Amino acid sequence: GAGVSQSPRYKVAKRGQDVALRCDPISGHVSLFWYQQALGQGPEFLTYFQNEAQLDKSGLPSDRFFAERPEGSVSTLKIQRTQQEDSAVYLCASSLAAEHNEKLFFGSGTQLSVL
Amino acid sequence: GNSVTQMEGPVTLSEEAFLTINCTYTATGYPSLFWYVQYPGEGLQLLLKATKADDKGSNKGFEATYRKETTSFHLEKGSVQVSDSAVYFCALRRGNQGGKLIFGQGTELSVKP
């Protein structure tokens, strides 16, 4: 596709359920990032992949959060035993290369609501 | 640690008014600085960037200058339009952190005709 695609667009989960959020980056993009955006706040970094390697997961808030990118393209963010505080928009972004001033392309996000 | 602070919104302006959205940062070393914009219902888009001190980023009539002495990167536009209504995010990025962005909290701009 032309841009970063995320699915589902909206997800409602009951507290304690597991969820999986998908990100399809722009084809050929090496770097992939996940961010969490709480209502009325700026996005906060969760984790970073360069190809299939997860180089930084310092932003994952707990061990209930897990991300993977097994073939260096599509990525999945999994949240186990969801809690109400996990409610947020989860953004995925990709860039062509790994340089620090490389432009990031963002998806529209998955809005997760935990009831 | 590294952080970004933006002026609080919402900011409401009339069409053709002058816009300033303040942004200051705290960081070690020499980060790159960015402004991203989020239009209603859309993903974040890069608006402009500056990668070193005294650089000026510009796009679509918006400008921001990287001021190391005041650790600021204020966004300006001389004449806003209704179509500029959006949320604006200032962000920094350090090269040795895998390129992750650190965002401010965002400033909502509403332009009235």
pLDDT in tens, A54-82: 999 999 999 999 999 999 999 999 999 99
- Judged by CB atoms closer than 8 Å, whether chains meet at A48 and B100 is answered as yes
pLDDT in tens, B64-108: 999 999 999 999 999 999 999 999 999 998 766 556 889 999 999
Closest-CA residue of B relative to A38 is B105
**B111 in Cβ contact with B13 (< 8 Å):** yes
H/E run at residue A91:
strand A88-95
Tell me how far apart the alpha carbons of residues B4 and B1 are, in angstroms, rounded to a whole number: 10
- The confidence band for A10, taking pLDDT boundaries of 50, 70 and 90, is very high
Query: Tokens 């990287």 identify what position?
Result: B66
Closest-CA residue of B relative to A46 is B100
- Judged by CB atoms closer than 8 Å, whether chains meet at A50 and B98 is answered as yes
Q: What are the backbone angles phi and psi of residue B82, rounded to the nearest 5°?
A: -55, -35
- The confidence band for B42, taking pLDDT boundaries of 50, 70 and 90, is confident
Interface test with chain A among B23, B100, B105, B108, by most A beta carbons within 10 Å: B100
3-state SS of chain B?
CCEEEECCCCEEEECCCCEEECEEEECCCCCEEEEEEECCCCCCEEEEEECCCCCEEEECCEEEECECCCCECCEEECCCCHHHCEEEEEEEECHHHCCCEEECCCEEEEEEC
pLDDT in tens, A40-58: 899 999 999 999 999 999 9
